[in-house]
Amino acid sequence: MNKLLAGLVIFALMMPSMALGQTAPSPSPEAPAPQASLTPQQQAAVQQYIIKLSQNPVGNITILPFQFNNNYAIGLYARYQFNMNFQPVVPIMLSRHLSLIARTIIPVLYNPSNMSPGLCPPNGQCGGTFGISDIQEQLFFAPKTKPGEFVWGAGPIFQFPTATPQSLGTGQWSAGPAVVGLVLPGPWVIGMLATQLWSFTGRAGAPSVDSGLFQPFVNYNLKGGWSLTTAPIITVNYTAPGNQKWAVPIGGGGGKTFKIGDQTMQINMFYYTFIQRPITSPQTNLRIVWSLLYPVKRGFNIQDALQAAGVK
């Protein structure tokens, strides 16, 4: 019965992210002008606007990103860890002036063994554990802002003990606040996302959760859909001892936004090295992200795109 109740709670909270393309009715939003009726300069401005929307965590765009993390030299024996995050982002218009951005993070994880090399099988392969880790749901309430204004969103974050097997997760139900703020001057997108989680119930004997995440991000957009980006994910575990609390990477990368047929997509690649880390974090991280982009027509205003680019 408890497992059934837990499943129903998770399903209810994830419904916004599962309802791709569905938005709440809003008062007669202005319809976008057909792309074919725009000049080449205006079309380029709209495309650049869409790229900046994709870099905005609370932008009016549905994104289906697949994030592949290759983590090197993790743990006592400097082994390889693989983590693929599927993290759909879905905006839902609550009114003309307020949107709800639902961001779900579903981690698929390969965790290396902690076994000493001397105890491994004769072939030298210590093996590891593969499965789904704890799923997160982030909900941001974001007011509509005019081009050039400070953009922000805030709401709750939930983490569910969905790990299968259990060793890949915390074993705890956790919740807390999530906030994001950013500016978009010219070709830049600059901001910060922060979350905090506290556990409130969970498996008997599982350690409590008191953790934070800070992700500053800086994007510089070039011509032709290219961009340069740094977006290190800084984490802290407040329950860990001494210098095992913080994981702080530095680095960056870039990517390109392009179309295949009518489908807009992005490919980005980043490389980070950790200047401060607990033993459970890697020394280096190679992150590759492939994203499908779906600009939301409801509430999308071509004039906002042209005004933001300074194009008439």
The answer to whether residue 1 scores a pLDDT higher than 50 is no
For residue 54, is it left (φ>0), alpha (ψ between -120 and 50) or beta?
alpha
Mean pLDDT is highest, among 31-35, 93-97, 294-298, 306-310, for 93-97
CB 7 within 8 A of CB 15: no
**Higher model confidence: residue 265 or residue 50?**
265
pLDDT in tens, 246-270: 999 999 999 999 999 989 999 999 9
Task: Give me the phi and psi of 53, to 5 degrees please.
Answer: -60, -40
Q: Which amino acid is at 72?
A: Y
| Predicted TM-score of the model (pTM) | 0.83
Nearest C-alpha neighbor of 234 from the set 251, 255, 254: 251
**Higher model confidence: residue 302 or residue 178?**
178
pLDDT in tens, 214-256: 999 999 999 999 999 999 999 999 999 988 999 999 999 999 9
pLDDT at 301: 58
pLDDT in tens, 125-176: 788 999 999 999 999 999 998 888 999 999 999 999 999 999 999 999 999 9
Mean pLDDT of 2-19: 45
Q: Which fold has domain 2-30+40-309?
A: Porin (2.40.160)
Domain map (residue ranges) of the chain: 2-30+40-309
